[in-house]
Amino acid sequence: MIQPLKFSNKRQRSLIIAVLAVIFLISVVAIGIFLDEESISTNLKQRNSSPSLHHPFGTDWLGRDMFSRTFMGLSLSIGVGLIGAFGSTFIAMLLGMIAATMGKMADRIVSWLIDLFLSVPHLVTLILISFALGGGFKGIVIGIALTHWPSLARVIRAEVMQIRTAEYVQLSKKMGRSNWWIATKHIFPHIVPQIVVGFLLLFPHAILHEAAITFLGLGLSPHEPAIGIILSESMKYLSSGMWWLAFFPGLCLLLIVRAFDVIGEKLRSLTDPNRAHE
């Protein structure tokens, strides 16, 4: 008799869940990349079609397949989120290291910057930056990178300040090691888990805010099959009963965001030494 698979602890379950979420995200990106551009071409004979086997997500008012548009939009949103979250994580790591290692004056300046950016909702700041840069791919990516770093920078700063008081770091200073050597050999390897988890947790915020800004018309070009554009366009047709134009893209966006949240949460639990015994 076949016994059901049992996981001995929470860490194994977390690892399995994280791997499944990664596979799901890779599948979404792969589908969006390999879809043919002709699948979103105009076909007026099939316009306003409800979901069917041939068109699982239905078609829009121009006869374009919503399944293809949705997955292409998700791939585009993930790409924007990847670049924006990477830039924001780099800024957070740089400022967090500077605040914790370059003296009190540097710490005060960085802390002031963190408090300044946290005092204003970053969605508002993102709108202003994107508008100032003329919107588009460049504007939304730079806006995300410049607005999503404060919380992670505060975490990295606190982590670095704790590490630099460790005995082995103090011993390295007494042996004449430079600050750069201590930062690269002692401090940076210890904050890599926080950086990776922070990057993954920034990802869903970046994707949601990209969709929100694009929905308002300040983000990606209307010619791009972005989720924000799809949702914005669908608002005109919901009163006509074409519910599928907003339902499936919105649901897929929420699933993508939740998948990134799950990966970040599970990796945080896997890298937490206090949970190693679970």
User: For 78-92, how does the pLDDT look when each residue is reduced to its tens digit (9 = 90+)?
Assistant: 888 888 889 999 999
What pLDDT score does 7 carry? 46
Residue 186: which pLDDT band, with cuts at 50, 70 and 90? confident
Out of 21-35, 100-114, 124-138, 211-225, least confident range: 211-225
What pLDDT score does 35 carry? 79
For residue 260, pLDDT beyond 60: yes
What pLDDT score does 275 carry? 53
Residue 276: which pLDDT band, with cuts at 50, 70 and 90? very low
| pTM assigned to the model | 0.79
Q: How does pLDDT run across 117-165, given as a tens digit for each residue?
A: 888 887 888 888 888 887 788 888 888 888 888 888 888 888 888 888 7
Can you name the CATH fold of 11-29+67-273?
A: MetI-like fold (1.10.3720)
What pLDDT score does 4 carry? 46
Q: How does pLDDT run across 26-64, given as a tens digit for each residue?
A: 888 888 788 777 777 777 788 878 888 888 888 888 888
What pLDDT score does 90 carry? 92
For residue 204, pLDDT beyond 60: yes
What pLDDT score does 126 carry? 86
What average pLDDT does this structure show over 57-80?
A: 85
Structure-model confidence comparison of residues 183 and 256, the more confident one? 256
3-state DSSP of the chain: CCCCCCCCCHHHHHHHHHHHHHHHHHHHHHHHHHCCHHHHCCCHHHCCCCCCCCCCCCECCCCCEHHHHHHHHHHHHHHHHHHHHHHHHHHHHHHHHHHHHCCHHHHHHHHHHHHHHHCCCHHHHHHHHHHHCCCHHHHHHHHHHHHCCHHHHHHHHHHHHHHCCCHHHHHHHHCCCCHHHHHHHHHHHHHHHHHHHHHHHHHHHHHHHHHHHHHCCCCCCCCCCCHHHHHHHHCCCHHHCCCHHHHHHHHHHHHHHHHHHHHHHHHHHHHCHHHCCC
For residue 5, pLDDT beyond 60: no
Residues of the chain with pLDDT > 90, as a percent, come to 2
